Chains A and B, each alone.
Chain A
Amino acid sequence: MSGHGHGHAEEHPKGGYVKNVARTLEHDFIEKLFVPAIAVGLGVTIRHFFRNLLFKERYTQTIEYPDVKPAYPARFRGMHRLVPRDDGKPRCVACFMCQTACPANCIHIEAGETPDGSIEKFPLVFKIDELRCVVCGLCVEACPCDAIRMDTGFHPPPVQTRAEADVGRNDLLSFFGRDELPAQERSAAHPPPTAGGLGRIDRTEGDLGAGGSRGGF
């Protein structure tokens, strides 16, 4: 090809234009020997080999996932949680804003009236189907009282049945935000319900007054 044009179009005998790509790469004698080039290549690979083998600062970027877990970014949207008031009851006033905003229709709320009348409504049932959730965070945006957040720092764990993926009010209330408690304290007192699946959570809804694990209504 080197005798032909260098990168310009020529008319083909059968019509149309064919672009001739220049392939004038000539090897000099040293390159034709191959051996120096092989030595250079071996130098590169062997350098990588020994650096990865012997030195602390490696080229390797692999994270051995189940053994080593990377930190999620600060704005990671994880499992939902219901934020409690100081007395432990949920801040949620069952206004249905999140349920309305949810594009996946995964939030199910049934409102109840508070006995003392200080706050009009509270969620009698607050269920999130984590299988349907698209983790868009619109429920968090929609909430007028900052009652629902996605700052738990863990993602919905695997489940065995579809029913298990329905996370109820008391469960949601029992989760902590990951900035709320120091990590050690949190993991000791409230291990995140990850590996064992949501089935591990105590999901007794309890009577109206019992509330979540953080105190009752």
Chain B
Amino acid sequence: MDQFPVYLAVILTVVPVAFALLFPLLLAGPLTWAERRQSAYMQDRIGPNRAAIVLPGGKEYRVFGLLHPLADVIKLITKEDTIHHSVDKFLYNLAPLIALFPALVTFVIIPFGPDLAYQAGAMVIAPFANGSVPTGNTMELQGARVDIGILYIFAMSSLGVFGVTLAGYASSNKFALLGGLRASAQMISYEVTLGLSLIGLIMVFQTLEPSSMVYQQGELMWGVIPKWGILIQPLGFIVFLTAAIAENKRTPFDLAEGESEIIGYFIEYSGMKFGMFFMAEYVEVVVISGIVTTLFLGGWQLPFLFSDGFHFPGGAFLGLHGAIVTAMGVGTFVFKVLFMCWFQLAIRWTLPRFRYDQVMNLGWKILLPLSLANMVVTGLVLLS
């Protein structure tokens, strides 16, 4: 494989980083719409559909209410930003940034397409087949290839605690403080489970690098079933998803908010500063979907699709151009992420919320032992 020309190298460096930053950010707005609209459909309502663009001729375009996030953003930005005189101004202004920042930077280690190589004056797909990881001079469709990618995810997600805690601490409001307290206790508790639930997966794949995990998930077990994380670590998947939703503080684990009791750590925030907490939640939904997709659902892998086309079990072969394979890989990744977003919203609107002691019980007494058991059983299976 040849050296990439400089312009291609620059493009292939900038595009994945831009994708990693913009994909969750731009998906957050439509997700607020999807949340309201989907919950409406699940509850036999209609949901927001009135915001419209009215042309001079009087013709209205409502596009299923998709303009509501736009209207929300305009409202939040133009709203007066009220700051109480007794807040700690520095920490108060810093908190929403800290809350949003980890959510935005986590997506960078998630691969969204196969590695590319340069051969004979043209860009080609780096050859991979049945679990093999391409080597050599390749460019990756991944913001940053970090060897300790999974650890990076945990490092960043644990930073998110600071935003919430500082928001509650700096607001000089006892309800905000209670919310921040709850949020920090909950997030720290579930972080343990979050990490331990992935140990099994890491043991199976023998790597912390997400891209390598995705390549290994393309392997076919018994020549038929793709070796997706969800199939080899089903318990790990359930525990991880539960812990991730708890980490994101969404219903059924939305103890940090609780409109009927303490409102939440962002009670003193108005305008776009509140909007940033709100946005962080939805960006995190996308990030969790991306992580779950990468670790458990085979990432951008489509079953039986390898770098030269489909190899169906039984020997049937459908050759495809490298560009099409790449496009299908990226499309598969986006589809899986959207599906996981949808699934998270479905969970959020299906389950009632836990009581605080129940959240702690679930985290420490059920999920943590389960993830430990999962680790032990995986280890025994791998040893035998």
| B349 interface contact, C-beta 8 A | yes
Is B70 engaged at the interface, CB distance under 8 Å to the other chain? no
Please, which residues of chain B bring their CB within 8 A of the CB of A62?
Answer: 45-46
- With A35-B238, A49-B38 known as contacts, the answer to whether A42 contacts B346 (CB < 8 A) is yes
Residue in B45, B46, B238, B349 whose beta carbon sits within 8 Å of that of A45 in the complex: B349
Q: Is the CB of A38 within 8 A of B346?
A: no
Query: Is there contact, CB below 8 Å, between B41 and A48?
Result: yes
Any chain A CB within 8 A of the CB of B347? Answer: yes
State the CA gap A142–B347 with chains docked (Å): 61
**Are A59 and B346 within 8 A (Cβ)?**
no
Contact of A52 among B41, B346, B350 (CB under 8 A): B41
Contact of A48 among B42, B46, B351 (CB under 8 A): B42
Q: Does A118 have its Cβ within 8 Å of any Cβ on chain B?
A: no
Q: Is the CB of A64 within 8 A of B46?
A: yes
Complex contacts, B46 vs chain A, CB 8 Å: 60, 62, 64
Query: Smallest CB-CB separation from A62: which chain B residue?
Result: B46
- Cβ of B238 and Cβ of A61 under 8 Å apart? no
Measured between C-beta atoms, what is the minimum distance from B158 to chain A in Å? 26
- The residues of A that contact B351 with a CB separation of less than 8 Å are 38, 41
The distance in angstroms between the C-alpha atoms of A58 and B349, with both chains bound, is: 19
A1 close to chain B: CB less than 8 A: no
Query: What residues of A have a CB within 8 angstroms of the CB of B119 in the complex?
Result: none
Contacting pair A60 B346 (CB below 8 A)? no
Whether the pair B44, A42 counts as a contact (CB closer than 8 A) is: no
Chain A residue, CB-CB nearest to B37: A53
B43 within 8 A of A: yes
Complex CA distance for A185 and B347, rounded to whole angstroms: 52
Task: Determine if A49 and B347 form an interchain contact, defined as CB atoms under 8 angstroms apart.
Answer: no
Which A57-104 residues have C-beta < 8 A from chain B? Answer: 58-62, 64
Complex CA gap A44/B349 in Å reads 11
Docked CA distance A35–B351 (Å): 11
User: How many B residues are at the interface, by size bracket?
Assistant: 10 to 19
Q: Which chain A residues lie closer than 8 Å to B238 at the CB level?
A: 35
Chain A contacts with B in 6-58, Cβ cutoff 8 A:
35, 38, 41-42, 44-46, 48-49, 52-53, 58
Quick one: which of A35, A46, A52, A64 contacts B44, CB cutoff 8 A?
Answer: A52
Give complex CA distance A31, B355 in Å. 18
Contact of A53 among B41, B346, B350 (CB under 8 A): B41
Judging by beta carbons under 8 Å apart, are B350 and A38 in contact? yes
Q: How far is it, in angstroms, between the C-alpha of A52 and the C-alpha of B40 when the chains are bound?
A: 9
Nearest first, the 6 A-B pairs at minimum CB distance are: A59-B44, A52-B41, A45-B42, A45-B350, A49-B42, A49-B41
20 example contacts (A-B, Cβ-Cβ < 8 A) are as follows A35-B238, A38-B347, A38-B350, A38-B351, A41-B350, A41-B351, A44-B350, A45-B42, A45-B350, A46-B346, A48-B42, A49-B38, A49-B41, A52-B42, A58-B44, A60-B44, A60-B46, A61-B44, A62-B45, A62-B46
For the complex with contacts A38-B347, A46-B42, A58-B44, 17 further pairs of A-B residues with Cβ separation under 8 Å are A35-B238, A38-B351, A41-B350, A41-B351, A45-B42, A46-B346, A48-B41, A48-B43, A49-B38, A49-B346, A52-B44, A53-B41, A60-B41, A60-B45, A60-B46, A61-B44, A62-B46
